[in-house]
Structure 1
Amino acid sequence: MNLIKAQRDQLFEYGPFTVRRQRPGEALGPLAIVDQMTLKTGATIPLQQHQDDEIFSYVWRGSVRHEQENGAEIMLNSKRMLVVSAGDGVRYAESAPLIETALLQAYIRPQHSGGAAAVHSWHRAEGVAPDHWTLLAGPQASAAPLTLRQQVCIYDVKLTRGAQLSVPHLPGYASWLTVLEGVVRSGELRAQAGDALCDSAALPPVSGERDATLVLFLVRQDAPAVMSGTVSGS
């Protein structure tokens, strides 16, 4: 197991945006980029083009307006998340019009190039479950409410201080656990906001040193993946 510490050279500031970018690397092949972003109130990402990217958006504080080229809008917050399967191409804009926002965006390389673009959101009235992993996104054959065009499963949990949980695992999958807020321990390692724990196999149980919000990616190591994505192919 490795601890990927939040480093200053991962941090970029663009006006009202602060982005911490992590690249999980070859062992997590299809999982190209994991961004943790802070958007100041009024921040706007103008209409942009994507193709061959699977984009998972997860707000853990504040809200984001996702606006499609046809004018359709989806408001993302801690109870609603989003997957964009860009396929042959899709254009959308994003903004934080109401309040400063903390957002995770993961860029995943799909198994195949092309296909019709698709945008899916999922709302859960209860928000993040305390001390219980929730499957958020996964391949079509999975039970996940959001579908990815890749052998990747995404979970979240609100780990309370003093609680300990086993970490989900699937045979043949590597693990990448992102700490969005709080402090956790796993084995001999201590991870805090901005850090990630990763392994080519299962991760040890995690315990909450402080209340923590965690997002887990399980990535099929031998899954084919295209490199033609606008962001995921970079």
Structure 2
Amino acid sequence: MLQKLSADNHRQPFKGPITITRIQPSDIYVEKKADSAFGPLSIIDHAVMKKGITIKMHEHVNDEILSYVWKGTMYHKDSRGLEEPVSPGKLMMMNAGYSFWHEEKVKNDQVEMLQIFVRPRETNLEPNIQFHSKAISNREWYLMVGPEDSNAPLHIRQNVYILDAHPKKGDVLEIPVYEGFQPFLYVLDGEIAINDLMIKKQEAVTDLEDPLPPITALTHTTVVLFFVDMNAPMSLDGTISGNKKKLV
């Protein structure tokens, strides 16, 4: 049975020059959960950062973080001295491990992006950072992130796959099946239909029993699709991902 997470479930822990809409994936359940997570998928922060903002150097521990910029350019700097712009089509995966420090800056246009927090399989792994460039207008599914033994361009230390697609109005997309993994589909922008169910920006959908049916784009749309091993072992020691307390 299809289950939808509506946008009116979300809270905004930060508002102003930096506005974060925090998507707690477990809110998709009919029966409310104390933990924010959907398996090891802990938090999706849908952030809007205005020109001139700097998020000063800060530490993450035991978080696996995908930065997915949809609009604008975010400038990354870390304690290793690496400086890299992250923009649409340029993906960044921080595998924080036992310690990773970084800074984010918006120099020019406003940035809209997702920061996706996943709980790693275990505590205090080696820190790492990865980048990957992809097309920004793929109408079919593109595999961005996968476990270390997968053929995904970015690796995560967890049994999670992350794909995206940018269907145009009227496009119909079949949802792939990853055996043993639960789908979680998030609409970053636009609107889709699954059967008679409409899912708009900042909303999500899953089916806990069956594969997801095909989606139809009702407008030009950007969607991010997760496949999650709901029984995967995970660390709860993450700076962000390990926090089980939900916003109420």
Report the TM-score range of the alignment, normalised by the length of the smaller protein. over 0.9
Contact 1:23 1:33 survives alignment (8 Å)? yes
1:203 matches 2:203? no
The equivalent position to 1:153 in structure 2, one of 161, 164, 170, is 161
Q: TM-score, normalised on structure 1?
A: 0.95
Q: TM-score, normalized by length of structure 2?
A: 0.90
Is 1:138 paired with 2:146? Answer: yes
Contact 1:128 1:156 in 2 (8 A): no
Amino acid at match of 2:23: Q
Counterpart position of 1:24:
25
SS in 1 for 2:158: coil
Instruction: Select the structure that is richer in strand.
Output: 1
Matches of 2:198 and 2:66, distance apart in 1: 26
Alignment partner, residue 96 of structure 2: 86
Q: Do residues 224 (structure 1) and 225 (structure 2) align?
A: no
2:127 is aligned to 117
SS of the equivalent of 2:126 reads: coil
Measured against aligned partners, the alpha-carbon deviations of 1:99-145 in whole angstroms (never above 9, x if no partner) come to 10111011000001112100001012x32312x10000000111100
> Paired residue for 2:74, among 64, 67, 89?
64
Mapped partners of 1:182, 1:60: distance in 2: 13
* 3-state SS in 2 of match to 1:211: coil
Percent identical: 31
Distance in 2 of aligned mates of 1:80 and 1:137: 13
Counterpart CA distance in 2 for 1:44 and 1:187 is: 43
Equivalent residue, structure 1, for 2:199:
191
Tell me the CA shift for residue 10 of structure 1. 1.6
Question: What letter matches 2:5 in structure 1?
Answer: I
Q: 1:174 aligns with which of 172, 182, 188?
A: 182
Counterpart Cα distance in 2 of 1:154 and 1:5: 21
Report if aligned partners of 2:10, 2:24 keep a CA contact under 8 Å in 1: no
Partners of 2:199 and 2:104 lie apart in 1 by 30
Q: Determine if contact 1:135/1:154 at 8 Å carries over to the other structure.
A: yes
The whole-number CA distance in structure 2 between the counterparts of 1:153 and 1:66 is: 24
Secondary structure of the structure 2 residue equivalent to 1:7: helix
Distance (whole Å) between structure 2 residues aligned to residue 154 and residue 22 of structure 1? 16
Q: 1:30: how far off?
A: 0.1
Counterpart in the other structure of 2:4: 3
Tell me which of 151, 164, 179 is aligned to 2:172: 164
Q: 2:234 aligns to what SS in structure 1? A: coil
Deviation at 1:227, TM superposition (A): 0.3
Return 5+ residue gaps in structure 2 as ranges.
Answer: 27-34, 244-248
**What is the number of residues matched between the two proteins?**
232
**1:62, 1:14 → 2: CA distance?**
19
SS at match of 1:28: coil
